[in-house]
Structure 1
Amino acid sequence: MNRKLIALVYCLIDFFGSAIAWFLFHSYRKTVIEPQLLGVKVPLNFDQKFLVSLIVIPLFWCALFFVNGFYKDVLGRSRLKELINSMLVTLFGGLIIFFLFLLDDYVATYKNYYQLFVTLVSLQFVITYFPRLIITSRTIRKIRAGKIVFPTLIVGDGKKALGLLEEIEDQKKFNGNKVVGYVSIGESPNQ
């Protein structure tokens, strides 16, 4: 798989995951929060406004992930860094959506606002992060197995360059660097 295709897969997973999260969140609002205020069961309407939001909200999330570099270095990801970045971006995006679209909702108590925010952020994080984690883990396994390699050229002189070559070749976990050549910049490799 090339980098652009992997980035596209990440983006599509984020888009559809965000759409699913928004659908579930909308359903939660209509079946749990609004009945508390109105005292009656609220019908789950999927009107034109909802359908537009089902496209706009996932596009917002994809744009936010793009701006934060989620689709840039798809082969050099760290699972821990991805976890932290996903949490931070999801919290930030959740705050934006909350203040733009949810703060004017009528609620029975202010506790409902907290419930809305936590539900939105939790759904968005879980539904987008775990598929991303699966793709990242599979990519890391392919790199360690040597199925994905990074052609590497060593530029240097003498013992330091030779030492670097030996260090790359003697790694316990293959990091994807496949040395394809050596360029001397002056001294001979025997020095």
Structure 2
Amino acid sequence: MNKKRQLRKYLIADFVAASITWLLFNLLRYYEVAAFLGFTSLDSYLLSFQVLKGQVLVPLFWIVLYYFSGYYNKPLGKSRLTEFFSTFIGVGIGVIFVFFVIVLNDLPRSFEIYYELFFTLLGLQFVLTYIPRLCITQQALNRVKRREGSLYVLIIGSGKKAQRTGEALFRLGYTITGYVTENEKESSVVTSGALLGGLDQLSDILANNRADELVVALETEDVEAQLPIIYSLYKYKRPIKILADNSNMLAKVNIKTIHGIPLVDLTDNNFSEAEKNIKLFMDKVISLLAIVLLSPALLYIAYRVKRDSKGPVFFRQERIGYMGKPFMIYKFRTMFVGAEENGPLLSAENDPRITPFGQTMRKYRLDELPQFWNVLKGDMSLVGPRPERRYYIDQIVKRAPYYYLLHNVRPGITSLGMVKYGYAVDVDQMIERLQYDILYYENMSLVLDMTILIYTVKTVITGKGI
């Protein structure tokens, strides 16, 4: 199923619904209040500048509102029940805004007309938005049940739990890629043709077979035995879901039930789709403002870097970012040219490779300012786990494989690890700092982001961490 095509369907349906709603609502407004505004005919009212402007801007407002609500983030996999509630909440918020900004400017002949206008607008907007959405969602569900564009699931496990899970997912329209046995001693009940191999062969299995998601359904109830297996899956950068039952203590997070099948997404966090869109928007706006407003300071720092030592003003280095994709990070150069001729090396206090002005920049984190450009490009966010080099990631994941979870969010200019721990001078300290980044990942929210930004400003002003 094509994600972009499905998204276009929702966008077009929502825009048309909003346009028709506003036109019908304006017909009601004409008969209720237009006479008080000086209009003598329906044509003169509908063709007036204010009404025509609203006919264009109001539908656009609804599209923007739905975007920030997160409705368009996942056009596939919607359910009819969530469709109803998400539409009702979104429409309710939008109608209140439109009513107080636009409709209250009207002068009705009686106060009761406000109630009539409000509930009419609410009813029209909800019904004309929800019905097309429901039809589009139902069509998608029907296609999934017919196996047209269904998700491919690879099940980790080959016992009775794995078999039951596979059969249930298959009935719901998922395509079962196959099963992977935990080890040679595991008792397998699935057919030999569906068994693709063992965990030690998983890399080859994923290279030769499509798997959109990994579902862990092991027979063992021993959490300690399950953890190493789950940790080993993070590097494949796919959603990892685990079968949640009364015996599985790993299922302590919110359970996302798929039509009666309790599955926990271990690679997900509690950051809502609405918060993701608001965060992305604020990243772009703040970064653009920062580049413009700080341009005199940026020019002065560039001048000082150039005067302080020979070499380029900016330092470019490959880092690993969102979904494990490499990108070039930008900083003001704080070290002498050739500082890493003998290989990658983390900086330490009183590092002789750091230039005199570089010491000042690092103390106040001024060397990070060019990364506003990285945020504007979409490589980074204002707040998020700091991006690392592949050289160090390869060492970290040998001891802390859950590090791969951090690739599910955009790396940040600042992070909880940076404000609570600071710079790391070796891999041991990087792993210690990682605990703060995992804590951030598991508790992501806009409030937490604002808190980290406040502490970062404090660090910049005082030159001290917390």
TM-score by length of 2: 0.37
Shift of 1:128: 1.2
Does the 8 Å contact 1:18/1:57 carry over to 2? yes
Q: Alpha-carbon deviations, 1:29-69, whole Å to 9, x = none? A: 0123434x589964342223322211211111111112222
Q: In 2, Cα distance between the equivalents of 1:185 and 1:147?
A: 31
Q: Find the counterpart in structure 2 of residue 168 from structure 1.
A: 166
Q: Report the CA distance shift for 1:120/1:190 in structure 2 as closer, same or farther (over 3 A).
A: same
Q: Find the counterpart in structure 2 of residue 74 from structure 1.
A: 75
Map 1:149-188 to 2 at 5 A.
149-156=150-157, 158-159=158-159, 163-169=161-167, 171=168, 174-188=171-185
Q: In 2, Cα distance between the equivalents of 1:52 and 1:184?
A: 62
Q: Find the counterpart in structure 2 of residue 48 from structure 1.
A: 49
Does the 8 Å contact 1:148/1:176 carry over to 2? no
Q: Alpha-carbon deviations, 1:122-164, whole Å to 9, x = none? A: 11111111011111111111112222310111224x52xx532
Q: How many equivalent pairs are there?
A: 186
SS of 1:133's partner is helix
Q: In 2, Cα distance between the equivalents of 1:39 and 1:55?
A: 23
Gaps of at least 5 residues in structure 2 are 189-466
Shift of 1:92: 0.8
| Amino acid paired to 2:18 | S
TM-score by length of 1: 0.85
RMSD: 2.4
Shift of 1:11: 0.7
Q: In 1, Cα distance between the equivalents of 2:120 and 2:103?
A: 12
Q: Report the CA distance shift for 1:187/1:53 in structure 2 as closer, same or farther (over 3 A).
A: farther
Q: Alpha-carbon deviations, 1:74-108, whole Å to 9, x = none? A: 22111111111211111110000011111121011
Q: Report the CA distance shift for 1:108/1:91 in structure 2 as closer, same or farther (over 3 A).
A: same
Q: In 1, Cα distance between the equivalents of 2:171 and 2:3?
A: 19
Q: In 1, Cα distance between the equivalents of 2:63 and 2:162?
A: 39
- Identify the structure with the greater helix proportion: 1
Does the 8 Å contact 1:155/1:184 carry over to 2? yes
Map 1:1-191 to 2 at 5 A.
1-35=1-35, 42-44=41-43, 45=45, 46-156=47-157, 158-159=158-159, 163-169=161-167, 171=168, 174-190=171-187
Q: In 1, Cα distance between the equivalents of 2:163 and 2:174?
A: 10
Q: In 2, Cα distance between the equivalents of 1:126 and 1:112?
A: 21
SS of 2:42's partner is coil
Q: Find the counterpart in structure 1 of residue 370 from structure 2.
A: none
Shift of 1:188: 4.4
SS of 2:148's partner is coil
Q: Alpha-carbon deviations, 1:1-36, whole Å to 9, x = none? A: 40111011101110111011111111110123434x
Structure of higher CA gyration radius: 2
Q: In 1, Cα distance between the equivalents of 2:166 and 2:105?
A: 57
| Amino acid paired to 2:86 | N
Q: Report the CA distance shift for 1:5/1:188 in structure 2 as closer, same or farther (over 3 A).
A: farther
Q: In 1, Cα distance between the equivalents of 2:91 and 2:122?
A: 6
Shift of 1:184: 4.0
Q: In 2, Cα distance between the equivalents of 1:151 and 1:21?
A: 39
SS of 1:74's partner is coil
Q: Which moved more, 1:83-92 or 1:65-74?
A: 65-74
Shift of 1:173: 7.5
SS of 1:103's partner is helix
Q: In 2, Cα distance between the equivalents of 1:134 and 1:91?
A: 21
